[in-house]
Structure 1
Amino acid sequence: MITGDASYIKKMNRSLILKEILKEGMLSRADVSKVTALTRATVSGQVSDLLDEELVIEKEIEYNQVGRKPIMLSINAEAGYAIGIDLEYDRISFAISDLQGSLVLTDAIKLQNNAYADILTLLTGQIKHYQERFAASRYGIIGIVIAIHGLVSTDEVIHYIPSFDWHDVPLKSDLENALGLQVKLENNANLSAFAERVFFHHETNDLLSVTLHSGIGMGMMINHSFFRGQDGFAGEIGHMIVLPGGLPCNCGNQGCWEKYASETSVLQQLRAKKPDADITYAQIERWMEEKDPDVTEIMEQFIYYLSIGLNNIINIYNPEVVILDSELLRIYPDSLPLIESNLNSRVSHYREIKISTIGKKSCVLGACAIAIQNFLQVPVLNLPYKG
């Protein structure tokens, strides 16, 4: 039983009720009382407040038996909207979700340059546009979370973005001053990991999400929380050395994992082998179906080096679930069995390795989910994935 002052207990009970309604989608008052172990009187009082605040709505459901139709409670999805932003190397992707985590709008703006002042102006203008567009809802924009492809400190200062050559940039404070809204910055791989846990792996305590796009990043969920390291820079697993004395990396080392097992590394090799070809995922898939020898060799090396890195991180973290976010793996036949066949260590332990079904949307979905969790103040967020 939770003990403490009345306001604290009320806050904890509220969080518990919202958590269960979000998880199940719809619950009756009796069901809420049952799954939370709270008294019906406590549930009734809390639900009354949530209805007044328009965070919860009531619905009658079809009922074929004799008696009163059950009244179900659900989150009022349209009470407010979250903004998730992915600050990529060549574009900014925007996503707006309702309070149930469903995307209602997506936008992308190509970047003409990487000058900080220009990108700050672009972000400010676009967010203000969304503020106006969703102002009619009860709570309007309930949170803004931006995915950073680089190092973000624990106090949310951008330490370094390699693709922009940004160092110690105060994007959070600059945006908050311009908008009058709270803004949160988070590493992109962390947000992908959060999306995987929130939308799919509800019962997973320890999850690793490895993103294999322009580089390699790793988001780590341990006991439902991010593992960040001392300064917030944990997860830069792409700079683990897998080939001593290998290819030089921008980080200053040689032989880093992302030089051999990121999608960028594969695409660079394919362009070198086929300089006149239009390198797209659809074309790569056709080459694999045709068993093109150059493509076959490059993809086999990709799987080989990917497996080396996965073996290392599995031995270090002993995760329940490892999620791999890669379009190349999604189109490569039997990629998971091939990877698992290379993980032969008797000391490696994990429950499962899966390829992400969300894909690159995981980043903005995770950003929206963080905003929803912060707004509703629920300790653990579980949402249905609606595609």
Structure 2
Amino acid sequence: MSISELANSKIEIEAEEQVLKEFTNISNNQAYDLVFHRRVLALNDGITEVTSPNDYFGVDNRAGMYPTLQKALNDSILESSKVFQMLDVGGGSGSPLDWIFSKELLKNVGKRENIINVIEPNPNLLKVYLKTLEKYPHLKKGIVYQGYVQDYYEVRENNVKPPLPSDKVDFINAIHVVYHLTDYRQDNLDPYKDIISFITFFYSILKPGGAIYIAYRDQDQDFGGNMQKNYYEKIHEYNLYQNIAKINQARDNFLNKGQIIEYLESKDDEDGFKTKPKIETLKHKFSFYAKSLADMAVLGLCGNLLESNEKNFDKGRLNFILNEIKDAALMKVEDEKERRFGLGRTERDGKMVWKVDASQVICVIRKEIIS
């Protein structure tokens, strides 16, 4: 069966009906759960407990980031003292604890104490994170802050000063955090300032030899990112379209191209060391996977078309993406050309499924010790 024939098949029609029913009369927070926990973080058949980044069905970006995350973490461990402090910024539900951090930090047992500090504004996700942390007796809980990362470096009225780790930290994990630094709906936004404030503050609490690990989707080259821009163009919200473009450009310049290094200081004497900032960036492709086109449309909500609050979910956004992805499946293409979004069929978890292309940026900022 061809891709266009499959797109019009009974199984796809039934899947679409089910998905649209699932997203009817729900809140944005409920939609968020359906997108991330039921699709993005869906596990392969037979997997009940995550032990590897390859256990996830919906996306393979974790497997792609594993080598760089492992290296950045281990390089920081080598420079650590008797206590290894990690700060998980926007830690979410703590899934990386299962597939990398618990394993790599097990190497410290008998040599160093492992302290895990976490910042996460969502109380439900933070609760899951702390429960996950309890599974690993070799990981000790440090500070826990249920609040926004901006609270650490922005002056706000009646803002209680957030807690800091007991010492400077060896490793700061910031996977998929940069999306929350700038609200694309605000007027007169300044994403450059937001990135500078975020990076310079967390660089200041790094130990010499420590590193900040940043991973984010390159939304200019991304299925979901293109959906967002196309949607706002369609509904004539050009200000939102332009805001998103400005944010993406700031990330590209400061993180992907490394220009943030200009705002980080070298120091001749920091805790007895000479240090200088060093940045390494790379970009790699990954894919989203779905059993139906309707589920792929749900994955397209990832990003600026998905809000986290108790307002009613706008199903028109899902309908828009569904029509876009169906058009891509039905379009006539020559053998040597790709469909929009790289849409195609591939094998995943032993089954033939839909896939679309995406791109991810990895940025490692290290406070390098000068010998």
Query: Shared fold by TM > 0.5?
Result: no
Structure whose alpha-carbon radius of gyration is higher: 1
The answer to which structure, 1 or 2, has the higher relative contact order (CA under 8 A, 6+ apart) is 2
Provide the TM-score with structure 2 as the length reference: 0.30
Provide the TM-score with structure 1 as the length reference: 0.29
